[in-house]
Amino acid sequence: MALDADSIARSFAERGLRLTRQRRAVVDAVAAAGASLSALQVFDAARERCPELGLTTVYRTLEVLSEIGAVRRVHGPDHCEAFVPAGAVHGHTVVCSSCGRATEFTQCDMHAVVDAAARQTGYEITEHFLQLSGICAACNAAAGAPGPSGKGAG
């Protein structure tokens, strides 16, 4: 289930849920963000579109979006951190350790790794959770040349 308006609307309808103005604001805020967002950041962003929105509704909506696969959670090494839009049924997230930008990737042929792990541990492996981090193209370019430094986190 992707994070486009139509799919969302359909998923909500299927569950007997209404796609209210508040919920739309949350969806739009997550979709518009290029980076992963905490619940509070979603709240702040969404309130610019819908000032009377409450934090409670943000949590409730993110929960639904997570259930229908429209957003994915990002885990840091220490904490459960944030949400990112999920565009593909099976996809993973690369997070830029410099600026926080999050991008989805879908080319994850894990057969070799999964086979090796199965052989080593004796488990029958059914799922993989993979999350990469690195430097995004923009940050990489900025690091090599002087110029208008964007938003940096570091």
Partner DNA sequence: CTGCCTACTGAAAACGGTTTTCAGTTTCAG
Partner DNA sequence: CTGAAACTGAAAACCGTTTTCAGTAGGCAG
Binding residues for Mn ion (CB under 5 A): 108
Contacts of 107-114 with CB under 8 Å at 24 or more apart are none
Place of tokens 């994070």: 3
Q: Is 109 exposed, middle or buried (0-12, 13-18, 19+ CB in 10 A)?
A: exposed
115-116-119-120 Cα dihedral, nearest 10 degrees:
-150
Name which of DNA, Zn ion, its own copies, none residue 41 binds, using a CB cut-off of 5 to 8 Å depending on partner kind: none
Among 26, 95, 96, 102, binds Zn ion (CB under 5 A): 96
Check residue 147 for interaction with its own copies (CB under 8 A): no
The partner residues of 103 in beta bridges, in order of sequence, read 94
Nearer to its own copies by Cβ, of 57 and 98: the residue is 98
Name which of Mn ion, Zn ion, DNA, none residue 98 binds, using a CB cut-off of 5 to 8 Å depending on partner kind: Zn ion
Check residue 53 for interaction with DNA (CB under 7 A): yes
Positions touching DNA (CB under 7 A) are 12, 16-18, 20-23, 38-40, 50, 52-57, 59-61, 63, 80
